[in-house]
Amino acid sequence: MLNNLINEKTEYQFNPLNNITKSDIGLIPLLKLYSTQAGWILLIAPDGRPTKEFLTRNSIDVNKVIVFQKKHCQDVFFTASEAIKHHNCSAIIFWEDALSSEQQKSIYLKGADSEVAIHAIKSDNIEGALQAH
């Protein structure tokens, strides 16, 4: 099933004109998908934080997920750019309202060049995955 998600969603991972929407793929499937691949999963400035118990309960490898909370991340664009540059992430996930359209396009293009999956998701597409700070 996860391989099908990869194949179906490739256009969203690298297309700067598309964002992941509620009808496409949510945070939990993304975390599951990339926790089986080499590299970190970087969540940048989420509206909450996933707990270890939540990740474990959903079969997500807690050792693969890095969360840069809003209070520690003043520049989402810089953080995403640096993560892409260092080639240590399989996926970078941020919230679509964290970056302008131009910044999102730039991040998608950098990710495509580095073979890093980039996902901008809507705040209403987290399926109860995050706990308030």
Q: What is the CATH number of the domain that holds 95?
A: 3.40.50.300
Residue 50 lies in a domain: yes
Q: Token pair for residue 117?
A: 């999956």
Q: CA dist 98 to 1, 38, 94, 104, 119, Å?
A: 30, 26, 7, 9, 12
Domain with 87 in it: 2-124
Distance of CA 80 to the CA centre of its chain: 10
Q: What is the pLDDT along the chain (133 residues), one digit of tens a residue?
A: 334 444 444 434 443 333 333 335 678 888 888 888 889 999 997 777 778 888 888 889 989 999 888 777 789 999 999 999 988 999 999 888 888 889 988 998 888 888 888 988 876 645 555 544 4
Residue 133 lies in a domain: no
Residue 56 lies in a domain: yes
Residue 132 lies in a domain: no
Give pTM, 2 decimals: 0.75
Residue 130 lies in a domain: no
Residue 64 lies in a domain: yes
How many structural domains does the chain have? 1
Helix, strand, coil content of the chain in percent (nearest 5)? 50, 15, 35
For the stretch 82-97, pLDDT in tens is 999 988 999 999 888 8
Residue 31 lies in a domain: yes
